[in-house]
Amino acid sequence: MLREEAMLRDDRGNGGGRRHAARNVLGEPLEICSIKPMTGFYRDGCCNSGREDTGSHTVCVVMTATFLDFSKSRGNDLSTPVPEFGFSGLKPDDRWCLCAPRWQEAFEANHAPRVVLRATHEGALTYCLLADLKRFALDLTRTGFGSYPRTPRHALRHR
C-alpha cells in the first residue's frame, strides 16, 4: 500500500498494528456494494468504515421510492442531484452505503430498504440487529458456498 493511501484513513480501530481485512455482518470478507453509482464513505464502492466515518455508512441497501421519500422527509435528500459534489442523485434500485442509524430509524418506521448482507460492514451491528438485517436481506437465498438456503414451505408443514 502506498504511504499516501495509508494516511487517508485509519480503520484499524486499535491505533496501531496491521490493518484487518474488512468483514461483513456474516463474518466474511466485505463485498462491493456499488461502483455505479460510486458509494461508500471513502467512495471506494464498499461500505467500509473507520473512525472518521461518524455516520457509519455501513449498510448496503437497494433504494426504493418509499425509502427515498422517507429519508427526504427526515432531512436527508438522497434523490436530488448535487453536481458540485459529483452526486447525480439516487433512484429506486440503486445500491448505496447507507448510515446504519438511518437504516435503523427507517426500520422502526416501517420504511427500511432491502439489505445486501455480504456488502454490509460488520460495524452496522453497533446500531442494527443482525436478525433485523436478515429479515430485509436480498442475498440470503443465494445458492452455493456460504449460502443460507431457506427451508422449503412444504417441509415446514410437516414439523
Model confidence pTM above 0.95? no
Residues 43 and 102: their CA atoms lie apart, in Å, by: 19
Give the single-character DSSP code of 57.
E
Residues 106 and 62: their CA atoms lie apart, in Å, by: 13
Q: Rounded to 5, what percent of the chain is helix, strand, coil?
A: 30, 15, 55
What was the pLDDT predicted at 49? 93
What was the pLDDT predicted at 7? 31
CATH of 22-139, one of 3.40.50.2000, 3.40.109.10, 1.10.1740.10, 3.30.56.110: 3.30.56.110
* Mean pLDDT, contiguous 10-residue spans, the chain (159 residues): 35 46 96 95 95 96 97 95 91 97 97 98 98 96 44 35
Q: State the DSSP H helix or E strand holding residue 149, giving kind and residue range, or none if neither.
A: none
- How do the domains of the chain map onto residue ranges? 22-139
Strand order in the sheet with 95-99: 95-99, 57-62, 114-115
**Nine-digit cell at 62?**
437497494
What was the pLDDT predicted at 85? 85
What was the pLDDT predicted at 19? 53
